[in-house]
Amino acid sequence: MKNLIKCIILILAVCLFKSASAAENHAVSGTVTNQDGQPLPGATVILSNDKITAADDDGKFVFHEIEAGTYTLSVTMVGYDAYTKKIKVKNTPVTLNLILKAQTKTLNEVNVTPKISTKISAKIMTTEETEEEQKKMLGPTPDNHIYDTEGNVVDSAKAADMLRSYDYEMALRKLKGQDAFKHVIIKTDTRVQLMSYQYMRTLPYLRVQSPKLQDGLTLDLKPLVKRIDTATLSGKAIIMIFWCPECYRGSKSDQYREVNDAIAPFANSDKLQVLALTKAQTYQANDALKKSPILNARMLTEASSVTYKYDLDDTPVIIMTDTKHKIIFSMAGWNPITPPVLHNLLKSIPI
């Protein structure tokens, strides 16, 4: 009898193991790159208008626990042609290498930053461009109009003004009574924005590795003493941009444009100091800044002694302090959350 019970338990265990294994195998993952093999972080990946994610800093994405069946996988990225592929999911993982083709047509553009969680930098055309061209550039949904939360189409020029203010952001949402994702302009909820930031900064590819540059710490100014008069920083909020030529391996052109835009309204304040630091030699930095300028910042080149004392490698990092030099923002790599959070933090402190 005991042997029979043991056999039954063993059979059940095997069945459960097989069931669990099958569930784990229902995954769709892959890498999104351009034609040169460079990863495209922030590319939007949609699985049959039901699940949505974004490529990480290495261009990788994954959907877990996908049931067996046939799906349409769509990938979009600003500046690239949309990519669509039919895939079949069985009881084994699906791994894809997706290559996006760069768009060749140049349009007049106004650049805006959409909702944080989508990791997209969307571009809104000027009113001179045709509606069809606007659809092509926006990309992430089959219907590329922009809507308000009531389902009304928003003029693209008006949307650009709204998004530029950082009082609004663009999300991919399903409107009431509709199944597909749409571009929707929503009021920025700074509380949710900061919660998203707190989550994002825990991700391995966005987390600042230096123990000296973490949220909540008081920024140590000693590493800067030999480069600037730190007494001039007293009572000022500080933004430190640690960068390097080709930090993003060519995957993001004009790398700091959105950061420049976010800081610009506050650039003339005597309560703010922006520092841009790089290990690169001066001539290398100057060449790189012609392609990807960092504006309204005091540039410190050949600053390896500073980055060493802050325990930083070549990973790009941005930190911000309040006027008492408490670190209130700290993030590595690139994420569209950075410009709006910086902008709204600057609005929230007395500068």
3-state secondary structure of 192: helix
User: At residue 142, does pLDDT exceed 70?
Assistant: no
Mean pLDDT (the chain) is: 79
Report pLDDT for 212: 96
**Which is more confident, 156 or 306?**
306
Q: What CA–CA distance (Å, rounded) separates 98 from 60?
A: 10
User: How far is the C-alpha of 97 from the C-alpha of 99, rounded, in Å?
Assistant: 7
Residue 247 has pLDDT above 80, yes or no: no
pLDDT value at residue 264: 94
Q: Does the pLDDT at position 240 exceed 50?
A: yes
Which of 36-40, 53-57, 144-148, 346-350 has the weakest average pLDDT?
Answer: 53-57
Q: Give which of 118, 133, 132 is closest to 41, Cα–Cα.
A: 118
Model confidence over 320-349: pLDDT tens digits? 999 999 999 999 988 888 999 999 999 888
Concatenate the DSSP letters of all residues of 27-96 into one string: -EEEEEEETTS-B-TT-EEEETTTEEEE--TTSEEEE-SPPSEEEEEEEE-TTB--EEEEEEE-SS-EEE
Beta-carbon contacts of residue 342 (< 8 Å; ≥ 6 apart): 239, 259, 262, 263, 318, 320, 329
Asked if the model's pLDDT at residue 252 lies above 60, the reply is no
Q: Which pLDDT belongs to residue 9?
A: 44
- 257 contact partners, CB below 8 Å, separation of at least 6: 111, 292
Q: Are 99 and 34 in contact (CB under 8 A)?
A: yes
- In the structure encoding, which two tokens stand for residue 348, read together? 């929230």
Domains contained in the chain, CATH given:
26-102 (2.60.40.1120), 105-188 (no CATH), 190-348 (3.40.30.10)
Q: Are 351 and 237 in contact (CB under 8 A)?
A: yes
DSSP 152: P
Q: Is the separation of the CB atoms in 292 and 285 below 8 Å?
A: no
Q: Render pLDDT for 176-191 as a digit per residue (tens, 0 to 9).
A: 887 788 889 999 888 7
Q: How far apart are CA 199 and CA 188, in angstroms?
A: 17
What gap in Å lies between CA 225 and CA 149, rounded to an integer? 51
Which tokens hold the place of 209?
Answer: 């590795």
The DSSP secondary structure of 120-150, one letter per residue, reads: ---EEE-TTS-HHHHHHHH-SSSS--EE-TT
Summarised one tens digit per residue, pLDDT across range 93-108 is 899 999 998 876 433 3
Who has greater pLDDT, 240 or 181?
240
**pLDDT tens, 262-311?**
999 999 999 999 999 999 999 999 999 988 899 999 999 999 999 999 99
Q: Answer for the pair 249, 316: CB distance below 8 angstroms, yes or no.
A: no
| pLDDT for 92 beyond 80 | yes
- Tokens 């669509």 sit at which residue? 84
